[in-house]
Amino acid sequence: MHSFDYSNTPWRMLSPDVVKLLTALYEEKGRQELYFETAPDALNALKKQALIESSQYANTIMGRVATTDRVRALVSNSAVPENKPEEEIAGYREVLSTIYQNYSSIVICPQTILQLHRQLFGYSASVKGGEFKDVDDVLFETCDDGKKMERFRTVSAENTEKALNELCKNFNEAIMAGTYDPLLLISQFALDFLCIHPFHEGSGRISRLLVLLLLYKAGFFAGMYVSLERILENSREVYYDALRRCSNGWHENSNNYLPFVRYFLGLFLKVYRDFNDRVASNRKGSLSKADRIWMVFEKKVGQVRKSDISAFCPDVSQTTIERALSDLLKQNMIIKVGNGRGAAYIKNIEK
């Protein structure tokens, strides 16, 4: 059985590039304190948008899609879930809200994890939440020829609760000891949790919710204002590749955590840099709404969709966004690509 070593393993992950990522993250953490004091209105708007995006992209990662309008309605509690993806969006919103409001008092233990899983599937008619898997799980991947092959055999159902108890115990002791940076320990915890895979359904979503919870407990709050799930979805192939590489040999304690830790620290840093950009674009009084919309094109490489603008400028109405885009098109500042729901815009580099 895997040994959850939080005493020696983190030391082996302190490569020069990991140290640089940690240094950059602590610099970003220092800036967040300034935002709390100087940009409360911007943060409130960003928090509402992040709740919508996180609820939506948590399902997109799983290949389940709902329209943005339906997600907004579900997150605002103004609609009742009508199908399985919507039930899961509503449940994810509930868990996110619980973590936002109570992160400091939530204890990391199997009982808490079961409670969060029960809440995640609180709207579900087909999945009973709050129970560990009762048969062994094997994770498969689809090859280029369409065939499925076994990728990883998770911890057996018989040993799941024991493994999760040991994981939580060793992680909590390492956090209390303070020997290693919590960001290293959180990244290691995420991989170990995914390898245990304690639930038939929802283990991935619970892992990401636990990561957010642990980041908040460590004082890293950017994930409240920028969707970690959206950024993970945009780098999904890299995420799964790191998971695949680092789970090899896990049962035999011969796996290498480093690629997964690098990925997660880079993910956290991207969340913080998006956080900086969005706070800058949402500061009241410094820029007009039209200027803030143009700023999205200045910041983002490649195609920009209306949803991207809404994410950066959550207090700007769709009518204002459409008017600004129309003006930018007339001025030949941007070029439209596609039509209908698939429409996007790119900056006119010749202008």
Q: Which CATH number is 289-347 given?
A: 1.10.10.10
Looking at residue 140, its pLDDT comes to 67
Is 289-347 in the same CATH topology as 9-282?
no
Give the residue among 291, 296, 266 at the shortest CA–CA distance from 278: 296
DSSP 304: B
Q: Map out the domains of the chain as residue ranges.
A: 9-282, 289-347
Read off the pLDDT of each residue in 86-92 and give the average, rounded to a whole number.
92
- Residue 72 pLDDT greater than 90, yes or no: no
Position 330 confidence tier, pLDDT thresholds 50, 70, 90 = confident
Q: What are phi and psi of 305, to 5 degrees?
A: -105, 165
The encoded tokens of residue 43 equal 């943060």
Q: How far apart are CA 223 and CA 54, in angstroms?
A: 9
pLDDT at 307: 79
| Least confident range of 78-82, 114-118, 120-124, 159-163 | 78-82
Mean pLDDT, residues 127-137 taken together: 92
Cβ atoms of 164 and 110 within 8 Å: the answer is: yes
* CATH of segment(s) 9-282: 1.10.3290.10
Distant-in-sequence contacts of 95-104, Cβ < 8 A, 24+ apart: 95/119, 95/120, 95/209, 96/51, 96/54, 96/55, 96/209, 96/212, 97/51, 99/209, 99/212, 99/213, 99/216, 100/47, 100/51, 100/224, 103/213, 103/216, 103/217, 104/216, 104/217
pLDDT value at residue 144 = 60
Q: What is the arithmetic mean of pLDDT over 265-275?
A: 94
As a whole-number percent, the residues of the chain with pLDDT over 90 amount to 54
Q: Which pLDDT belongs to residue 23? A: 96
Distance, in Å, from the CA atom of 187 to the CA atom of 265, rounded to the nearest integer, reads: 8
Mean confidence (pLDDT) of the chain: 89
Query: Residue range 191-220: average pLDDT?
Result: 96
SS3 206: helix
Burial 218-249 (b: 16+ CB within 10 A, else e): eebbbbbbbbbbbbbbeeeeebeebbeebbee
Q: Which pLDDT value is given to residue 196?
A: 97
pLDDT, mean of residues 84-99: 93
The mean-pLDDT minimum among 116-120, 316-320, 323-327 falls in 316-320
**Quick check: 250 pLDDT over 70?**
yes
pLDDT value of residue 283 = 63
Q: How many residues does the chain have?
A: 351
Whether 188 shows a pLDDT value over 90: the answer reads yes
Task: Give per-residue pLDDT as tens, 38-65.
Answer: 888 888 888 988 999 899 888 888 777 7
Mean pLDDT of all residues in 313-341: 84
Give the β-pairing of 138-142 and 148-153: antiparallel
